[in-house]
Amino acid sequence: MAKTFDIPKLTGISEKNIEEHLKLYKGYVNNTNLIFNKISELKSDPEKNAFVLGELQRRFGFEFDGMRNHEYYFSALSVGKKEINKNGELYKKIEKEWGTYENFLAHFKFVATTRGIGWTILYFDKMTDKLIISWIDEHHLGQLTGLSPILCLDMWEHAFVADYQPSGKKQYIEDFFTNLNWENIENNLY
């Protein structure tokens, strides 16, 4: 089931862009369900359908992560912007990892300018109690096993080109941070 998001008027990112982007998100939800159903249907004759089943299984991570990454992205832009709570757990973990909040922002924004289509994700690794920022190609290539996504920034061109042109990538990243609801983001820690 596609989730619904209460996204207010944003700085820089147009309502039209969000509307179109939500349609793309629904496509990932539909395709995730489609693959699930196709696999259970084709499993009735696994030998005959072995090749198709293998390819569907290979494709599953693309569709599933495409769905889930977008849910973190839209959630972070929902309800209205809220500053990060400087007494909260997330802020403390950021300071522990990068020294200052400003260093964290600079590093996240730097990773976001990685060439290609994909995502920049802030993760929490509960095994080591550490935050990690990583680049993910497409939706799934490079996802880190066992870590929880905290903040996902969509760096596919469909997320910003209509409003910013390809050359406006850095402004899109700046505006993304202007629009964030840090309360929703911090809730991803728990």
Q: Which residues bind Fe ion (CB under 5 A)?
A: 154, 156, 159
Please give the C-alpha separations between residue 187 and each of 88, 141, 153, 168, in angstroms, as whole numbers. Answer: 10, 25, 17, 30
Minimum CB separation from Fe ion for residue 77, in Å? Answer: 12
Pick between residue 156 and residue 182 the one whose CB is nearest to Fe ion.
Answer: 156
Pick between residue 29 and residue 94 the one whose CB is nearest to Fe ion.
Answer: 29
- Count CB-CB contacts under 10 A for residue 176: 26
Pick between residue 104 and residue 176 the one whose CB is nearest to Fe ion.
Answer: 176
Pick between residue 74 and residue 108 the one whose CB is nearest to Fe ion.
Answer: 74
Please give the C-alpha separations between residue 32 and each of 29, 55, 58, 139, 159, in angstroms, as whole numbers. Answer: 5, 14, 12, 13, 20
Pick between residue 28 and residue 123 the one whose CB is nearest to Fe ion.
Answer: 28
Minimum CB separation from Fe ion for residue 150, in Å? Answer: 18
Q: For residue 182, which of 25, 75, 106 has the smallest C-alpha distance?
A: 75
Token readout for 20 is 């179109």
Give the integer Cα–Cα distance in Å for 189 and 9. Answer: 26
Minimum CB separation from Fe ion for residue 78, in Å? Answer: 15
Minimum CB separation from Fe ion for residue 105, in Å? Answer: 22
90, 84 Cβ separation under 8 angstroms: yes
153, 173 Cβ separation under 8 angstroms: yes
Pick between residue 94 and residue 159 the one whose CB is nearest to Fe ion.
Answer: 159
The residue number whose beta carbon is nearest to Fe ion equals 154
Minimum CB separation from Fe ion for residue 1, in Å? Answer: 18
Q: For residue 176, which of 120, 115, 133 has the smallest C-alpha distance?
A: 120
Minimum CB separation from Fe ion for residue 170, in Å? Answer: 18
Which residue type does 12 have? G
